[in-house]
Structure 1
Amino acid sequence: MKIIDLYINGFGKFHGRNLTFRDGLNIVYGKNEAGKSTIHTFIRGMLFGIERQRGRASRNDLYTKYEPWENSGTYEGQIRLEHKDHIYRIERTFQKNKKEFKIVDETAGREIEPTKAFLDDLLCGLSEAAYINTVSIGQLKSATDEGMVSELKNYIANLNTTGNLSLNITKAAAFLKSQRKDLESQMVPEAARTYTSLLSEIRNTEKEISSPEYENQIQEYQKLRSHIKSSIEEQQKEKEELLQKAARGRQVLSSNQFSDQSSINACLAKAQESYEEYREAKESCNRKPRKILSVLSLFIATLLLCGTGVLYYLGEANYFTAYYGLDLILLLGIFIGTATIFYLIGLILFLRLRHSQKDMEMSAKILQEILSRHLGTTDISPEALRAFQTRMAEFTRLCSAVSKSEAVIAQKAAELEDLSKKQENCGESIEKQQKSQWELEKKLEHLSSCKTQAEGLKHILTENDRIREEISAIDLALETMTSLSTSIRDSFGLYLNKTASDLIAGITGGIYTSMSVDENLNVFLNTKTKLVPLEQVSSGTMDQVYLALRLAAATLIQEGTERMPFIFDDSFVLYDDDRLKTALKWLVNAYSDQVIIFTCHQREAQMLTANLIPYHLVEI
């Protein structure tokens, strides 16, 4: 199989990009960050698909890493392959909400159903793990993964025994052992005693399952729980409505500076008290006799003071002294004392009048503030007071309604708590019922098993001989398979070692002529004096050996079929110029199928040109 071309319509940084490949060696050159690894991953995704992981793993998976940078609604592409003289076009859409996968046979002009058998043939029998661990070599990842060991062993084991890949020896042995165990469990030496014991077990089990505790009442409890749930939802809805109603009432009371009935009563009492004080003060201020008497007293006191002045001015010649012989000093004292008395009387009356006016103003101010707050008016009148009282009565009714709503809310809360407990009890009862039904199912299964065993035990004596013969046959098969497995285990290293050793001399330029690989894929290089563990050689040599091992594994797995392209993604960064030159010459001769090398250096192309090795250059 070889890749003809590919078209990327949304993958990582690429959108609307074409690349064409040819037979033999292809060099894909691009600077760092040019997108070589993106194209490498795109090829893998087109061949095997890309699944988005779940949870935290989705943050750094391939799907998220290579989502299109632009036009994220288009996450797709196509690749054209040539396989067995047919040209196939694979089209994939990776978008999670509209994934599509289609294969078109352009040679036959029809769409192919992507069955597993067809895909295995098209992909040369490689799974995605085998592809990653053999023909697809990423950056600095030439070494095989541990998952490849079991796949290679199973392949070679099946190849040696059946000549195909359909049989799994390990599973076959496990199946035979399971069958032997089942047969042994069927053998009952004391058949009669066991049969009697089973009959007793059957009778006891049937008696147990007829007990009332195993009666199925799950549906009744579920209906009850559903009814309670509906009641809870209804009660909760009513409670929410009451809460909203009470909240609105409280808001109205709070906006009018009321908290409860006592605050309303206090406001009403204060208004009435202020109104009474205002009315009394107003009546006191409006009494004319008091005003007249106050003015008259002050007027008389003023006249007396004037008379005192006149007496003082006339002296002994005044009328009272001249005709009646009254003493001037005494007269002055009488006039002054009388004037003082009238002045004090007038002053007291004036101060009392002034105090009444202040009381009236203070009461009016308080009353106006109350009326303005609740009625929006400052008019002080009996009608305003009655309107205020009506307003207070409305607040009283509102406060009473709020209190009743809050009481109902508390009652609803208690009812909801009670319903919740009932719901929990229903849940517990359902769990108990489910547990009892689970126990009943187990007992029924046990009863069925006992009856089956009892039925089987009727024929156990005649069946024992047949079972022994089958067990003997299984033992013989296991013994044969164990011997064969040992042979397979011994031959595994020989197959891989022979194939890899044929390649190691070429890639190392004759420095090492062969290698040894044990059953755990531990690698040793052969010298004239000793076996050198791979860990003791240079990183470049180590990389060459693992490359040869990959190619050997790819050759084994794809033996007898067309082979997939060998793909390298900056895999020669550890190679010096001499080693790279040797590796390129070796690769062209060792792998005759298509080879694609992604590189950020121009030296591969230069060396191939200098050595007259044909290649196809693709620049990105």
Structure 2
Amino acid sequence: MKILDIYINGFGKFHGRNLTFGDGLNIVYGKNEAGKSTIHTFIRGMLFGIERQRGRASKNDLYTKYEPWENSGTYEGQIRLEHKEHIYRIERTFQKNKKEFKIVDETAGREIEPTKAFLDDLLCGLSETAYINTVSIGQLKSATDEGMVSELKNYIANLNNTGNLALNITKAAAFLKSQRKELEAQMVPEAARTYTSLLSEIRNTEKEISSPEYENQITEYQKLRTEVKTALEKKQAEKEELIKKVARGRQVLSSNQFTDLDSINDYSVKAQENFDEYMEAKEACSKKPRKVFSILSLMVATMLLCGVGVLYYLGESNYFTAYYGLDLLLLMGVFVGAAIIFYLIGLLLFLKLKHSQKDMEMSAKILQEILSRHLGNTEISTEAIRAFQARMAEFSRLCSAVVKSESAVTQKAAEIEELQKKQEGFGESIEKQQKSQWELEKKLEHLSNCKTQAEGLKHILGENDRIREEISAIDLALETMTSLSSSIRDSFGLYLNRTASDLIAGITGGIYTSMSVDENLNVFLNTKTKLVPLEQVSSGTMDQVYLALRLAAATLIQEGSERMPLIFDDSFVLYDDDRLRTALRWLVGTYSDQIIIFTCHQREAQMLTANLIPYHLVEI
């Protein structure tokens, strides 16, 4: 498998960045903090995906570390690969809310479903753990972690058992154990006692469901509730009609400024009183003698005053003094007194007449207003007052009808409340019946289950012996497989040693020619006198040995004729120039597939150029 190019559209510091790789050896040069490790991680994410951790772990996980610095809404990219003469384009969106993963076969011009079988083939059989511990080598990380131990053990055990990777012993053992658990779950050690208990439960349940409380009366209660509901709706309609009638009556009374029967009666009485006063005043004003007497009295009073003037003018020679011998002053006093009396009588009659006219006008004004409001006519007459009284009688009847309707509304409300109580009572009864029927259904279901279990127990009692025999067979198979698997896995170092020893001589320039690896991937270098633990050699040699171990593991694990590219991320910082030159020559000669070396130094390119070793340079 070969990486052709990558396109980063939101990953760490990169946005819209494209890099192209060639066949064979690729040198990716960039200064410190240029983003080499970001590109390395991007390739890993495109091949295997990046999952966000949960809880506190999410603060420092790979997903959070490489979230885009800018335009956080875009967290995605593409990688193009060549595998088995086909070019594939992998597209991934890492954003947690809109994750997408698509593979397009550009050679065939169609989208490929990313099944596990296809991905295993595309990735040369490497899991992410195997990838990290073999072909992907980070800064100062040639050594493998513990996860690689189980990967290698399981791989070699499967390879020795079956000759391929189709069978996983761990999964096979797990399957047998799950089968054993299923068989154990099918067994009922106390089937007879359980069966007896079920029969007792069946009898008790059948007795309970035959009791009267479980008799179904829902239909009857529903019928009664429907009848009450119909009556209630009728009463409510009647009540609404009465309320409208009362409202209309009250509106009529209110528009005529009446509140109750007393206000109507008071208004009628006052109107009659005004009419009577009007008639009396009119009659008083229409009497002529009163007007005549008033005028005559005033005239007599005037004449008497004139007579007083005449007497004063004539003096003692006036008729009454001359012939009758009356005293002049006394006579003048009599005339003046009589004039005053007649003047007062006339004035009183005049004032009384004016008062009668004023009373008549005031009564007429009030009556005209009353008659105009209720009859639409201002003419004052006995017929008009009778029509008014008839109108007031209508208002009285309307008020009585309103009061009666209000009483009827109160009565309807009481009847409606009583019907609502009945309806609620029927509803509670129906709910109680439904609950009772639900309990009955549960009991029937329980009874059915008990009978089913009892019937099943009959078969289980006969199956227990057969199940025990199968469990014994599974236990024997597990024991045998575990024993053989342990023996095979314990010897996996032989396979790894053989491949790693072929590589160690080349990478160390012949200083070491053999190495041994135990089951926990502890490494020892073979010398003529003793086995030297890896911890006792220099860090540079240790890094070389771990690199050989990685390549040996990669050779063992990768399936098929194609292999994944080797990727180094500043992995040679501990190498001196001689060791680096040897390592580069060895890598090119040993690994014929694609190699990508990320470096912040220019010495790798300079050494390759000096030794006429072809390479493809990528600068970032």
Q: Same fold (TM over 0.5)?
A: yes
Q: Deviations over 1:38-60 (max 9, x none)?
A: 11111111111222233332222
Note the C-alpha offset of 1:20.
Answer: 0.9
Distance in 2 (CA, whole Å) between partners of 1:117 and 1:133 is 22
Note the C-alpha offset of 1:600.
Answer: 0.4
* SS, match of residue 16 in structure 1: strand
Alignment correspondent of 2:460: 456
Distance in 1 (CA, whole Å) between partners of 2:450 and 2:557 is 48
Aligned residues: 385
Within 5 Å, give how 1:73-88 maps onto structure 2.
73-88=73-88
Distance in 2 (CA, whole Å) between partners of 1:547 and 1:445 is 65
Contact 1:205–1:447 (Cα < 8 Å) also in 2: no
Does residue 198 (structure 1) correspond to residue 202 (structure 2)? The answer is: no
Note the C-alpha offset of 1:204.
Answer: 5.7
Gaps spanning 5+ residues in structure 2: where? 209-441
Contact 1:11–1:67 (Cα < 8 Å) also in 2: yes
Alpha-carbon spacing, 1:196–1:574, altered in 2? closer, same or farther (3 Å): same
Q: Deviations over 1:445-490 (max 9, x none)?
A: 99977764443114556x47xx53x456545534542453244124
Alpha-carbon spacing, 1:175–1:64, altered in 2? closer, same or farther (3 Å): closer
Amino acid at match of 2:494: L
Distance in 2 (CA, whole Å) between partners of 1:498 and 1:51 is 37
Note the C-alpha offset of 1:126.
Answer: 1.4
Q: Deviations over 1:282-329 (max 9, x none)?
A: xxxxxxxxxxxxxxxxxxxxxxxxxxxxxxxxxxxxxxxxxxxxxxxx
Between Structure 1 and Structure 2, whose CA radius of gyration is higher? 2
Within 5 Å, give how 1:339-378 maps onto structure 2.
none
Alignment correspondent of 1:506: 506
Alpha-carbon spacing, 1:51–1:180, altered in 2? closer, same or farther (3 Å): closer
Q: TM-score with structure 1 length normalisation? A: 0.57
Does residue 597 (structure 1) correspond to residue 593 (structure 2)? The answer is: no
Contact 1:198–1:454 (Cα < 8 Å) also in 2: no
Distance in 2 (CA, whole Å) between partners of 1:208 and 1:578 is 92
Alignment correspondent of 2:25: 25
Alignment correspondent of 1:533: 533
Amino acid at match of 1:595: I
Contact 1:201–1:450 (Cα < 8 Å) also in 2: no
Note the C-alpha offset of 1:130.
Answer: 1.5
Distance in 1 (CA, whole Å) between partners of 2:34 and 2:45 is 19
Note the C-alpha offset of 1:37.
Answer: 0.6
Distance in 2 (CA, whole Å) between partners of 1:211 and 1:511 is 93
Alignment correspondent of 1:351: none
Contact 2:191–2:460 (Cα < 8 Å) also in 1: no
Note the C-alpha offset of 1:508.
Answer: 1.2
Within 5 Å, give how 1:570-609 maps onto structure 2.
570-609=570-609
Within 5 Å, give how 1:422-501 maps onto structure 2.
452-458=456-462, 460=464, 463=466, 468=469, 470=470, 473-474=473-474, 477-478=477-478, 480-501=480-501
Distance in 2 (CA, whole Å) between partners of 1:54 and 1:89 is 30
Note the C-alpha offset of 1:127.
Answer: 1.6
Amino acid at match of 1:598: F
Amino acid at match of 2:146: E
Distance in 1 (CA, whole Å) between partners of 2:584 and 2:463 is 72
Amino acid at match of 2:461: L
Q: TM-score with structure 2 length normalisation? A: 0.57
Alignment correspondent of 1:378: none
Alpha-carbon spacing, 1:447–1:599, altered in 2? closer, same or farther (3 Å): farther
Alpha-carbon spacing, 1:536–1:95, altered in 2? closer, same or farther (3 Å): same
Alignment correspondent of 2:560: 560
Distance in 2 (CA, whole Å) between partners of 1:209 and 1:593 is 76
Alpha-carbon spacing, 1:444–1:507, altered in 2? closer, same or farther (3 Å): farther
Does residue 117 (structure 1) correspond to residue 121 (structure 2)? The answer is: no
Alpha-carbon spacing, 1:451–1:90, altered in 2? closer, same or farther (3 Å): same
* SS, match of residue 524 in structure 2: strand
Note the C-alpha offset of 1:562.
Answer: 1.5
Alignment correspondent of 1:160: 160
* SS, match of residue 111 in structure 1: strand
Note the C-alpha offset of 1:198.
Answer: 2.5
Within 5 Å, give how 1:104-143 maps onto structure 2.
104-143=104-143
Contact 1:6–1:19 (Cα < 8 Å) also in 2: yes
Alpha-carbon spacing, 1:45–1:177, altered in 2? closer, same or farther (3 Å): closer
Distance in 2 (CA, whole Å) between partners of 1:444 and 1:553 is 61
Does residue 34 (structure 1) correspond to residue 34 (structure 2)? The answer is: yes
Distance in 1 (CA, whole Å) between partners of 2:64 and 2:556 is 34
Alpha-carbon spacing, 1:448–1:522, altered in 2? closer, same or farther (3 Å): farther
Amino acid at match of 2:71: N
Within 5 Å, give how 1:232-271 maps onto structure 2.
none
Distance in 2 (CA, whole Å) between partners of 1:104 and 1:3 is 15
Contact 1:202–1:451 (Cα < 8 Å) also in 2: no
Within 5 Å, give how 1:211-290 maps onto structure 2.
none
Note the C-alpha offset of 1:504.
Answer: 1.0
Amino acid at match of 1:128: E
